[in-house]
Chains A and B, each alone.
Chain A
Amino acid sequence: EAQVTQNPRYLITVTGKKLTVTCSQNMNHEYMSWYRQDPGLGLRQIYYSMNVEVTDKGDVPEGYKVSRKEKRNFPLILESPSPNQTSLYFCASSDRLPGNTIYFGEGSWLTVV
């Protein structure tokens, strides 16, 4: 079954404590990306990756890092989380061709206190 798996699904953490949200896909997709979703703002892209070792900033990259060492994994790293990073995060993957379906994970609820 085609899947994009995120972990953790729910997390409450404190300001400044580094955390990583993992994302893994089982479809051998080249393209992966991270979004955050906030009330009234819709989904905004944080980072994306066109292939292994190729990453680029989306619209709201500040405070986040990513890495793409393997094709299947695309972790999102918050080096020093702040309360304004409290949000719902989604990972997505697809083949590179723009006409292909994009698969989204189930989301990770992150609260920074």
Chain B
Amino acid sequence: AQSVTQPDIHITVSEGASLELRCNYSYGATPYLFWYVQSPGQGLQLLLKYFSGDTLVQGIKGFEAEFKRSQSSFNLRKPSVHWSDAAEYFCAVGAYTGNQFYFGTGTSLTVIP
């Protein structure tokens, strides 16, 4: 079955600290992996995506994610968090050719001064 697990429902980090958001997936074909961010009341903004090539993917806003096939993981990282990064983060998996996406339940990030 296709699924995405984000084990951490909520994470709190201090501004300037590093961040890692976990994502594990189960997918029956070659996965197309995404991280999206959603600010309160807003739509989804694509942070980064991975389908093939270098397993370390750079995204917008200083985020990066690493695809580890052996662990079925696609964790999101940022070396130094800014207060504006406080939001909900969703990991998603799908097929490249436009099939439906499966979303994780999201991780809510709080950034404290």
Q: Do A and B bind each other?
A: no
Interface residues of A (CB under 8 A from B): none
Chain B residues with a Cβ under 8 A of chain A: none
